[in-house]
A and B are shown apart, each in its own frame.
Chain A
C-alpha cells in the first residue's frame, strides 16, 4: 500500500484537526452526552493516525477496544448517573482556572520545545516492516513480551471481578453499622443515601 505524498499530508492534517477540535469539545461542551460522542470521534481519528503510521493491527485494536468498549461503557455510565443538578458555586474558581491554564500552557510549551529541539535518530525508512507489523507483534507477544502478556490477562480478570464487586449493591443481609436487615429490592428503588451531611 502506498499513498501519494499529498494524500498523506491531507489525511494527517484532517485527522489532527479532528483530534484537537474534538478533544477541546470533549472538555468544553456543556452537555456530557455530546462530549461522549465527540470522544468516540477522537478515538476513531487516532485509529486513522495509526493507519497512517503503517500499524493496521493496533488501529483495529484501537477501534475495537476504545470505540467498541470504553466509549460504550462511558455512555452507559452517563445514562446511569444522568441527573440534572445545579452545581454549587465554588469560591476562587477564577484563580483556579487561571492557575491550571497557565500550568497546562507551560507544560505544552516545554513539550513542544523538546519535540522541536531534540535531534531524533530517525531510522532508515527502507528497514521498515510495513505490512508485516502484525506478524512482528505476534512474535513479540509470544517471545520477549510473554510475561507481560500473561500478566495482562490476570489484570483483566482482576479488573472484571473488581468492577462487579464495586458496582453491585447490598451483598450482605445485615447493615454493618446498624445491624438492621438490608432491603434486597430492585436496584433503582430510591433509598436513603449514605454519607451525606444532614445539615
Chain B
C-alpha cells in the first residue's frame, strides 16, 4: 500500500494538535490523574510523528518504528511509577489537587 494519497503533513498536523492539547491539559489540570493522562497524550503525539517519518522518509530501514517501541516501553514504566507516586501522595495528603502539593515551594 503506498501512501501517496495522504500527505505527510496531515499526520504531522494531527500530531502537533495532539501535542498542544496535551501541554494545555498538563498546565491547566487540577486533578493529578488528568496530568498523567496529558503526559500520555503528549507521548502519543510524539509516537505518531516518529511513525509517520519512519513510513514516509525512512521506509526501508523503519528505525522510527523501533524508536516508537522504546517510547511505548518507557511510557508504560512512567505510567506505573507515576501512579504509584500519586497513590502515596494521596495517602499522605488525602487529595489529588495539584495546587495542594506545595511541599517544595518556598
Q: How many residues of A contact B (CB 8 A)?
A: 93
Main secondary structure of the interface of A (DSSP, over half): helix
- Known contacts: A35-B37, A115-B13, A193-B94. The answer to whether A62 contacts B60 by CB under 8 A is no
Indicate whether A172 reaches chain B with its CB closer than 8 angstroms. Answer: no
Q: In the bound complex, how far is the Cα of B58 from the Cα of A181, in angstroms? A: 61
Q: Chain A's nearest CB lies how many Å from the CB of B28?
A: 6
Q: Are B51 and A108 closer than 8 Å at their CB atoms?
A: no
Q: Considering the chains assembled together, what is the distance between the CA atoms of A23 and B40 in angstroms?
A: 10
Which chain A residue lies CB-closest to B20?
A108
Q: Is A182 an interface residue (CB 8 A)?
A: no
Q: Are B47 and A104 closer than 8 Å at their CB atoms?
A: no
Complex partner residue of B14 from A16, A55, A74, A164, CB under 8 angstroms: A16
Pairs across A and B, CB under 8 Å, 20 listed: A26-B41, A27-B34, A27-B38, A27-B41, A36-B33, A50-B51, A53-B54, A70-B40, A77-B86, A97-B28, A100-B24, A103-B23, A104-B24, A121-B57, A123-B56, A136-B62, A152-B70, A155-B74, A163-B81, A163-B84
Identify the B interface with A (CB < 8 A): 1-6, 8-14, 16-25, 27-31, 33-34, 36-38, 40-41, 44, 47-48, 51-52, 54-63, 65-66, 68-70, 72-81, 83-88, 90-97, 99-100, 103
